[in-house]
Amino acid sequence: MDELTKVRELYGRPDDDPFAKTRVQARMRAATRRRLPWQAGVAGLATAAAVAAAVFVPGLTTSAPELSPSPGNSTIALSGHSILLAAAARAEAAPEGAYWHVKRLNTIRWAKPYGKKGDTYQLESSSITEDWISEEGRAWTGYKNLATRPLDEEAWRRDGSPTEWKAERGDSSISPSEGRMDHGAFSTSPGEGHLGSFQDKKKFRFSGEQLTLEEIKALPTDPEALKNRTLEALHVGVERSADDHLPMALASLLYELPTAPEVRGAAYRALAALPFVKVEGHTKDPQGRPGVAIAFPSLYDQSTPNRLIIDPDTSMVLAFLNAGVPDKNNSTEVVLESGWTDSEPAAPSAE
Amino acid sequence: MTTTPVERPPDQSLDDFSAVFDAYFSEIHRYVVQRLGPGPAEDVVAEAFLTAFRKRARYDPAKAGVRTWLYGIVTNLIHKHRRTEVRTLRAVDRHGPPVDAPSHEERVAAQVSAESLRPALAEAIARLGRGERDVLLLTALAGLSHEEIAAALGISYGTVGSRLSRARAKIRAALGGTNPMEANHG
C-alpha cells in the first residue's frame, strides 16, 4: 500500500454533516449583514429548502390507516398517530445493558455507470458497520465491506466479468461531492472485519451539535421539550429551514444515539405530533422484515420522501431509506440490531 | 441520509456564484474538516467562499478551474490554523479515526486501517513543512493533479513534484521504510 493510500485512510472520510451547509450559509450571512453577497433579491439559496418544506406529494401519503375498527374483526386498525404512540410506550419499556449497540447494513446503488462503452452497468455496494458505547462512554466501531455486485449481470459478463473496480470520480450527472469516490475500490469479494476503539470519550453528533454521552443521556424526556431542544441543536441562526431537518434529527434519537428509553419514547411522541410526518402503513424492510413505514419530506428532493421503517411491536427502527432519486446514488440503511446489550464488541463477521 | 441537490457543475464560470457554492460546498467543506476538524472548518469555509466572491474579478479561467482556484483559496486560509491542524493530527493519534463513525457512502470508501500505523503516520504529517503538507493533502485528499496544485498554490510544476516526493519519503521513513535521504535518490 503506498503512502497516499495510507494518508487517505488515516484521514478517513468525514460524515457529510447535512446541516453544515446551512450553518456555513448562516455564518456568511452574519458576516455580510444577513444577505449572501451573490444573492440577488429574496430568492437564491433559501429556495430549495423552502420548497422542500412546503411540498409533500399527496399521492404518497394517502395510505393513512383508518381510525375505525373493521366490523367483525378483533384487531383494531391503529391510526398512524397511535402506532407511533404505541412504539413510544414500547421504547420506554426497552431493556438496558452494558453497551449501546447499533449494527447496520448500508447499501448504495451508485448512479455512475461502470464497464465499457455499450456494456455499462451500475454497481451496488454494501457494508456492515457496528458501533458500541459503554455506559462510561467508551466507544468501539467495527466495519466490514460486503461483496459489491453489478446490477446487470449480462452487461458485466460482456465487460469481461471484472471482480474489482476502481471507484472513480463521477461525471457531471452527479454532484462533485458524490462523484469523489476516488478513495477506494469495489470488489466482488467481501473484505475483512475490522474493529477499532476510541480511547478517549467519544462525542456524538446530534443535529448540529457534538454531545457527550452525559449530554445525550440528559436530553429532555418530555416530547415538546425534546422537540425544542432538537430545534435548538439544529438552529445556528438559521431562520426557516429547521423544520425540514427535524424528523431526521428526531429519527437519529430513535436508533443512532445511545439515548435513554424515556428519550426514545419522547422522540416517537414528538414525531407523532409533527404534521408533515406521515405513517404510510404496513410494509417490509429490505431484509423482508415486517414493519410500518413513516415518511417525511426529503431535504432536497420533494418528490421522494425519506422513509423510516419501524417495528411497532418492539419500537426498533428497522431501516432508513433514501432511494428512488434518478441520477443519484440511492442508499438504504438497514438497522440489523439496535439497543442495549451485554455482548462484548467484536469485529463484524457476516450479516 | 445526506443528499445534495442534483446540479450541473458550473462551466467554469463565476457568473452564478450561488451555483458555484452549491456545487463545491460539500467537497471543500469535507477537505477542511479533514484537515482542521468540524468546528473550525465552518468558519474557514465561510471565509473561503466570501473571499472567492470578493476576488472573483481576479479569477482567470485560463489558469485554473473554479474547483482548483477554490482549493487554493481555502488552503491559504487553512494556514492561519496551523496549530489546530497539528492538534487535530495529534488527536488522531489518541482517538483513532478523527471522524464521528462515518456512515453511508463515506463508510464504504473509508477503510479502517491498522490502528498501529496511525500515531507514526499522523506525527509524520504533523512534522511536514507547510508546503509539503499542502501538496500531499491536495493530492491524497482532494485528488488534484500536479498541474492543478501548481495553479492552486501559485508554484511551479517542478516544485509540486519535489514537495510531494519529499513528503512521501518522510512518511515512508516514519513508517519504518527507507531513510528519507536515501529515498530522495531512489
A225-256 confidence digits (pLDDT tens): 998 888 887 754 444 455 567 887 888 888 88
Distance between CA atoms of residues A194 and A238, nearest Å: 39
Distance between CA atoms of residues B100 and B103, nearest Å: 9
- What's chain B's Rg over C-alpha atoms? 17
Q: Is B93 on the interface with A (CB under 8 A)?
A: no
For strand A139-145 and strand A194-198, is the pairing parallel, antiparallel, or unpaired? antiparallel
Which of A276, A289, A317, A271 is CA-nearest to residue A61?
Answer: A276
Please state at what angle helix B82-95 crosses helix B118-127, rounded to 10 degrees.
Answer: 170
Q: Write out chain A residues lying below 8 Å of B2, CB-based.
A: 15-18
Domain boundaries, chain A: 3-111+124-146+194-341
List the single residue in B with minimal CA-CA distance to A23: B42
Confidence of residue B94 (pLDDT cuts 50, 70, 90): very low
Give me the pLDDT at residue A189, please. Answer: 85
Which of A317, A275, A281 is CA-nearest to residue A87?
Answer: A317
Helix or strand or coil: residue A43?
coil
Distance between CA atoms of residues B27 and A181, nearest Å: 11
ipTM of this complex prediction, to 2 decimal places? 0.77
Give me the pLDDT at residue A137, please. Answer: 78
Beta carbons within 8 Å of A190's beta carbon, 6+ residues apart: A144, A145, A146, A147
> Residue B168: what residue type?
R
Inter-chain residue contact A12 with B18, CB threshold 8 Å: no
Largest CA distance in chain B: 50
Which of A115, A319, A14, A153 is CA-nearest to residue B107?
Answer: A14
Which of A57, A56, A52, A41 is CA-nearest to residue A241?
Answer: A52
Grid cell of A192 as nine digits: 475483512
Looking up cell 487517505 gives A8
- The mean pLDDT of B83-98, rounded to a whole number, is 63
Inter-chain residue contact A24 with B42, CB threshold 8 Å: yes
Mean pLDDT of chain B: 76
Give me the pLDDT at residue A39, please. Answer: 55
Confirm if A51 and A298 have CB atoms less than 8 A apart: no
Inter-chain residue contact A300 with B29, CB threshold 8 Å: no
H or E segment to which residue A4 belongs: helix A3-11
DSSP letter at B10? P
On the question of pLDDT at B36 being above 80, the answer is: yes
On the question of pLDDT at A10 being above 90, the answer is: no
Inter-chain residue contact A325 with B6, CB threshold 8 Å: yes
Distance between CA atoms of residues A102 and A336, nearest Å: 8
List the single residue in B with minimal CA-CA distance to A306: B1
Give me the pLDDT at residue A47, please. Answer: 33
Inter-chain residue contact A301 with B21, CB threshold 8 Å: no
On the question of pLDDT at B104 being above 70, the answer is: no
Q: Is A333 on the interface with B (CB under 8 A)?
A: yes
Comparing A65-69, A106-110, A288-292, B93-97, which segment has the lowest mean pLDDT? A65-69
Higher pLDDT, A52 or B147: B147
Confirm if A79 and A312 have CB atoms less than 8 A apart: no
- Best-predicted range by mean pLDDT (A215-219, A307-311, B12-16, B162-166): B162-166
Domain boundaries, chain B: 17-185
Give me the pLDDT at residue B68, please. Answer: 93
Burial class (CB in 10 A: 0-12, 13-18, 19+), A163: exposed
Query: What pLDDT digit, counting tens, does each position of A103-150 carry?
Result: 888 888 887 788 887 788 988 888 888 888 887 778 888 888 888 889
Please state at what angle helix B146-153 crosses helix B66-78, rounded to 10 degrees.
Answer: 60
H or E segment to which residue A270 belongs: helix A261-272
Q: Is B25 on the interface with A (CB under 8 A)?
A: yes
Which of A129, A134, A103 is CA-nearest to residue A201?
Answer: A134
Give me the pLDDT at residue A60, please. Answer: 28
Inter-chain residue contact A141 with B101, CB threshold 8 Å: yes
On the question of pLDDT at A21 being above 70, the answer is: yes
Confirm if A194 and A142 have CB atoms less than 8 A apart: yes
Which among A9, A14, A183 is the nearest to B33, CB-wise?
Answer: A14
On the question of pLDDT at B70 being above 80, the answer is: yes
Burial class (CB in 10 A: 0-12, 13-18, 19+), B171: buried
Compute how many other C-beta atoms are within 10 angstroms of the C-beta atom of residue A122.
18
Higher pLDDT, A71 or B66: B66
Residue-by-residue DSSP string for A203-265: -EEETTEEE-HHHHHTS-SSHHHHHHHHHHHH-SS--STHHHHHHHHHHHHHHTS---HHHHH
Which of A202, A247, A228 is CA-nearest to residue A219?
Answer: A228
Burial class (CB in 10 A: 0-12, 13-18, 19+), A149: middle
On the question of pLDDT at A323 being above 80, the answer is: no
Confirm if B145 and B98 have CB atoms less than 8 A apart: no
Confidence of residue B118 (pLDDT cuts 50, 70, 90): low
Inter-chain residue contact A38 with B53, CB threshold 8 Å: yes
Q: Write out chain A residues lying below 8 Å of B24, CB-based.
A: 176
CA distances from A82 to A79, A202, A281, B8 (A): 5, 36, 12, 44
On the question of pLDDT at A77 being above 80, the answer is: no
CA-based nearest distance A54→chain B, Å:
17
Which among B49, B109, B171 is the nearest to A181, CB-wise?
Answer: B109
Distance between CA atoms of residues A74 and A83, nearest Å: 17
Inter-chain residue contact A7 with B171, CB threshold 8 Å: yes
Query: What pLDDT digit, counting tens, does each position of A274-319 carry?
Result: 877 888 888 888 888 899 888 887 655 556 677 888 888 888 888 8
- Best-predicted range by mean pLDDT (A28-37, A69-78, A167-176, A179-188): A28-37
Distance between CA atoms of residues B113 and A6, nearest Å: 8
| Most A CBs within 10 Å, among B43, B104, B121, to test the A interface | B104
Higher pLDDT, B137 or A135: B137
Beta carbons within 8 Å of A330's beta carbon, 6+ residues apart: A108, A109, A111, A322, A323, A324
Confirm if A98 and A107 have CB atoms less than 8 A apart: no
Strand partners for A322: A331
Confirm if A294 and A249 have CB atoms less than 8 A apart: no
CATH 1.10.10.10 correct for B17-185: no
Compute how many other C-beta atoms are within 10 angstroms of the C-beta atom of residue A135.
14
On the question of pLDDT at A91 being above 50, the answer is: yes
